[in-house]
Amino acid sequence: MKEQLCFGVDIGGTNTSIGLVNRQGDILTEEVIPTHREQDASSYLPRLFRKMEEMGKKFQADYELAGIGIGAPNANYYRGTVENPPNLNWGKVVEVREIVGEHFGIPCALTNDANAAAIGEMTFGAAKGMKDFIVVTLGTGLGSGIVVNGKLVYGHDGFAGELGHTIVNVNGRQCGCGNKGCLETYVSATGIKRTIFKLLADYISDSELRNLSFEDLDAKMITEAAIRGDKIALEAFEYTGRILGMKLAEAIAITSPEAIFLFGGLANAKDLLFQPTLLHMEKFLLPIFKNKVKLQLSGLQDKNAAVLGASALIWNELAR
């Protein structure tokens, strides 16, 4: 019997990554196509299919294609749809699972990118063997995948796990979702940029970041400035960790996980972010939870977690 491979597809607002992944979590090949967010799905999907077919052809002599796992914004696992994605011009509902499944004639499953990251962490990463954990992805926004009893929490309608839209301050920062003060407006690559601008307004201390426009600044520059001892940048990490720690303490009170994994660019700041986060998380925890919950870097931090996680969706379904 031929060895099986799965496609893992990560549809982002800018690029789409496509990998062919084996059961051990090795990505045998990976390619990237532009998503072209202004295109509708009927223009995008044929482009995706052509690339996948081209990749599949190279491997079909030696491998069997077992399925296609897809991570996408506002993907609904139950319905197999992408619904009103905030960064794509796809409209109300696209029946992605059905369209992809029919085209390739193999199983297809999809979920949002943070859920895919959690499934990847459980299948190939640092959460192997854990039954209760949370993965927090820190990118442009803040996503989360919550695992309870060994299963991802999808909830009644398939959209559970939106930690990024719990509220830090009802009169706080404007969020793209329409509310104010959502966690992701503070804790994400964009959130820490906003914090830098707030701090530059609040304080008079010198900072190398005073020379940058909002558009030019990114989270990596903030991390580098903090490493060089820039006070504003250091305070921004303190501020970010304080808020993240408090909201993680709340998430722990609700689902009592064994560990929380941070993933994404901002998590690369390591101790700069982890130290204040852990400090404030412990401070806000109920006594019964104190000093019990691990806060760790994702085990897939240096890998393409989204592609691995998307493929793991299928590996998990085949394993049932």
What is the C-alpha radius of gyration for the chain, rounded to an integer number of angstroms? 20
Q: Which residues are CB-neighbours of 194 under 8 A, at least 6 positions away?
A: 173, 185, 186
**Number of residues binding to a copy of itself, judged by CB under 8 A:** 46
Which position among 73, 257, 276, 309 is part of the footprint of a copy of itself (CB under 8 A)?
257
Q: Which residues are CB-neighbours of 164 under 8 A, at least 6 positions away?
A: 141, 142, 143, 144, 182, 183, 184, 187, 188
- The contact mask relative to a copy of itself for 156-195 (x = CB under 8 A, - = no) is xxxxxxxx-xxx--x------xxx----------------
Tell me whether residue 230 or residue 235 sits nearer to a copy of itself (CB atom): 235
Classify burial at 9, counting beta carbons within 10 Å of its beta carbon; exposed 0-12, middle 13-18, buried 19 or more. Answer: buried
User: Does residue 287 belong to the site contacting a copy of itself (CB under 8 A)?
Assistant: yes
* Shortest distance (Å) from residue 188 CB to a copy of itself: 15
Tell me whether residue 15 or residue 174 sits nearer to a copy of itself (CB atom): 174
Specify whether the CB–CB gap between 299 and 261 falls below 8 A. Answer: yes
Tell me whether residue 6 or residue 146 sits nearer to a copy of itself (CB atom): 146
Which position among 30, 250, 282, 317 is part of the footprint of a copy of itself (CB under 8 A)?
250
According to DSSP, the residues that pair with 143 across neighbouring strands are 137
Tell which positions 112-151 bind a copy of itself, by CB under 8 A: 130-133, 146, 148-149, 151
Nearest to 183 by CA among 228, 240, 233: 240
Scanning 6-14, 33-41, 205-213, 284-292 for contacts with a copy of itself by CB under 8 A, the matching segment is 284-292
Tell me whether residue 37 or residue 165 sits nearer to a copy of itself (CB atom): 165
> Residue 167 carries which DSSP code?
B
Scanning 24-32, 35-43, 91-99, 251-259 for contacts with a copy of itself by CB under 8 A, the matching segment is 251-259
Local structure of 294: helix, strand or coil: strand
Residue count of the chain, please give it: 320
Tell me whether residue 233 or residue 249 sits nearer to a copy of itself (CB atom): 249
- CA 237 – CA 313 distance, rounded (Å): 34
How far out from the chain centre does Cα 311 lie?
A: 15
> Residue 302 carries which DSSP code?
T
* Shortest distance (Å) from residue 55 CB to a copy of itself: 32
User: Does residue 74 belong to the site contacting a copy of itself (CB under 8 A)?
Assistant: yes
Instruction: State the residues that interact with a copy of itself by CB under 8 A.
Output: 74, 83-84, 130-133, 146, 148-149, 151, 153-163, 165-167, 170, 177-179, 246, 249-251, 253-258, 284, 286-289, 292-293
